Amino acid sequence: MSIPFRFPDGFLWGAATSAYQVEGSPLADGAGPSIWHRFSHTPGRVTDGDTGDVACDHYRRFRADVALMRELGLTSYRFSVAWGRVLPEGTGRVNQKGLDFYRRLVGALREAGIEPFATLYHWDLPSALDDRGGWTNPDVAGWFADYADVLFRALDGEVRFWATLNEPWVVSDGGYLFGGLAPGHHDAGEAVRASFNLMRAHAAAVDAYRADGRHAIGLVVNLEPKYPASERPEDLAATARSAAEMNRLYLDMALLGRTPDELPALFGEAWPADAAAVAASVRRELDFLGINYYTRGVMRDDPDALPYRASRVHQDGAPHTDIGWEVFPQGLFDCLTWVKNRYGDVPLYITENGAAYPDPPAVAGVIDDPLRVGYLREHLRAAHRAIAAGVDLRGYHVWSLLDNFEWNHGFSKRFGIVHVDYATQRRTVKASGRFYAEVIASHGACLA
């Protein structure tokens, strides 16, 4: 008799963080500043003027955090490497102290029986490279490949999962098109150039890994399934435009070697003349694909919402997280099955999934967060349904292990299954963390 919701043997149960959000000490031991260090120290950019100068102090407390991961039963930890810790100027000289931090972190994970799942780039470009044009400079592909090669040579013996980029859409859209994220630019031409250079960098890093690596390399994208607000032809077309720009551009380039047909008209003169050639040149076989899923988009035609001429329709009456995202577990199932149907049987990992909610005060040392528990339960059930439907899903990483610096929201939004008191750095496992530990111990059987 099969057990409902039991996940396959060998399924990776993980949690995720990123360097600037948790490490703190961004300039310690010879590290170079990143665009997020610069951005967060610019008045008006981040809620309450928060910065990642201390964050969760993971740089100094990582051993205790690894012990906490072990207590929860995690079998995987997804983290990112701060490029500027390893190469303070972005290129050239290697900072051995920075590299040694990641050696120690990986060693502690291995000792605890936890699989290191490393992301090369999670939004914190060295400021020295931003001064040279950042992701708009075509030379960035070579810079990134050289940086990646340093890490592959140093850590590939212990790290068996490497992701090149985290959410290239967010890097381009938030950093170069709308400017709400670092480096804070607002230019459609820059955004398009950044998109193509990100994928050129991804391909160059994959090539570097194929030369030296021994395990698995992939790409992490954020997907938001798009649904039309109505059956009006205008809304259907707007939904297709939005899906092309957010969901298909990077995956089509990486896995199919082409770009969506809808995009040249959206970006006009900003669209590069050599787009087809670049897309064909960056197609690479990947060992896995990471999927970050949080919510869906219900879209309507909106000529004033440039450049996509589509806007989101708020779903009145539906539950929403503290960050304003609709809770829609079906969207995770839809994402996973869509990827399988469009791109084939590339192995998948859910690399981020979670929810921000305001946590109540601890009562007798317990932080009860039932909304987050419910969110995780229903999304894990959706993930299991995708496996039952034939999706090759091999792991799940909750976002996030710790409450942390939530980018331009600062410390005002809490995603963690572990509460962090930022004044004392005390960690307290929330009810959602205990629930997740039970899921792991039962291989999902407790979801029934």
Average pLDDT over residues 321-330: 98
Per-residue CA distances from 259 to 73, 77, 335 (Å): 41, 33, 19
For residues 174 and 22, what is the distance between their CA atoms, to the nearest angstrom? 20
Tens digits of residue pLDDT in 332-373: 999 999 999 999 999 999 999 999 999 998 888 889 999 999
The pTM is what?
0.98
E strand segments, 230-318 = 288-292, 297-301, 310-312
Interacting residues of 42 by C-beta distance below 8 A, sequence separation 6+: 184
Average pLDDT over residues 109-120: 98
Place of tokens 């969207």: 331
Check residue 362 and give its pLDDT: 86
Checking if the pLDDT of 274 tops 90, the result is yes
H or E stretch covering 351: strand 348-352
* Spatial contact of 167 and 221, defined as CB atoms under 8 Å apart: yes
For residues 20 and 375, what is the distance between their CA atoms, to the nearest angstrom? 26
What DSSP state is assigned to residue 358?
A: P
For residues 20 and 13, what is the distance between their CA atoms, to the nearest angstrom? 23
**SS3 call for 342:** helix
Check residue 381 and give its pLDDT: 98
pLDDT band with cut points at 50, 70 and 90 for residue 6: very high
Checking if the pLDDT of 79 tops 70, the result is yes
Check residue 3 and give its pLDDT: 64
Q: Which of 91, 107, 187 is nearest to 146 (CA)?
A: 91
Q: Which of 11, 5, 14, 9 is nearest to 292 (CA)?
A: 14
In this prediction, what percent of the chain has a pLDDT beyond 90? 97
For residues 135 and 196, what is the distance between their CA atoms, to the nearest angstrom? 9
Structural tokens at position 251 = 């995956």
Structural tokens at position 221 = 């994208």
Check residue 1 and give its pLDDT: 45
Q: How many CB atoms lie within 10 A of CB 64?
A: 14
Average pLDDT over residues 23-37: 98
* Spatial contact of 207 and 141, defined as CB atoms under 8 Å apart: no
* Spatial contact of 84 and 126, defined as CB atoms under 8 Å apart: yes
Interacting residues of 322 by C-beta distance below 8 A, sequence separation 6+: 355, 356, 357, 358, 413, 414
Check residue 2 and give its pLDDT: 56
In this prediction, what percent of the chain has a pLDDT beyond 70? 99
Sort 9 into a burial class: Cβ within 10 Å, 0-12 / 13-18 / 19+: exposed
For residues 136 and 129, what is the distance between their CA atoms, to the nearest angstrom? 10
Structural tokens at position 389 = 């439907």
Q: Which residues are catalytic?
A: 167, 352
Tens digits of residue pLDDT in 155-181: 999 999 999 999 999 999 999 999 999
pLDDT band with cut points at 50, 70 and 90 for residue 12: very high
For residues 225 and 76, what is the distance between their CA atoms, to the nearest angstrom? 26
Per-chain mean pLDDT for the chain: 97
Average pLDDT over residues 4-19: 96
Check residue 364 and give its pLDDT: 86
CATH number belonging to domain 12-447: 3.20.20.80
For residues 151 and 162, what is the distance between their CA atoms, to the nearest angstrom? 10
Tens digits of residue pLDDT in 285-317: 999 999 999 999 999 999 999 899 999 999 999
Tens digits of residue pLDDT in 376-429: 999 999 999 999 999 999 999 999 999 999 999 999 999 999 999 999 999 999
Per-residue CA distances from 169 to 106, 123, 214 (Å): 28, 11, 28
Q: Which of 140, 143, 222, 144 is nearest to 181 (CA)?
A: 222
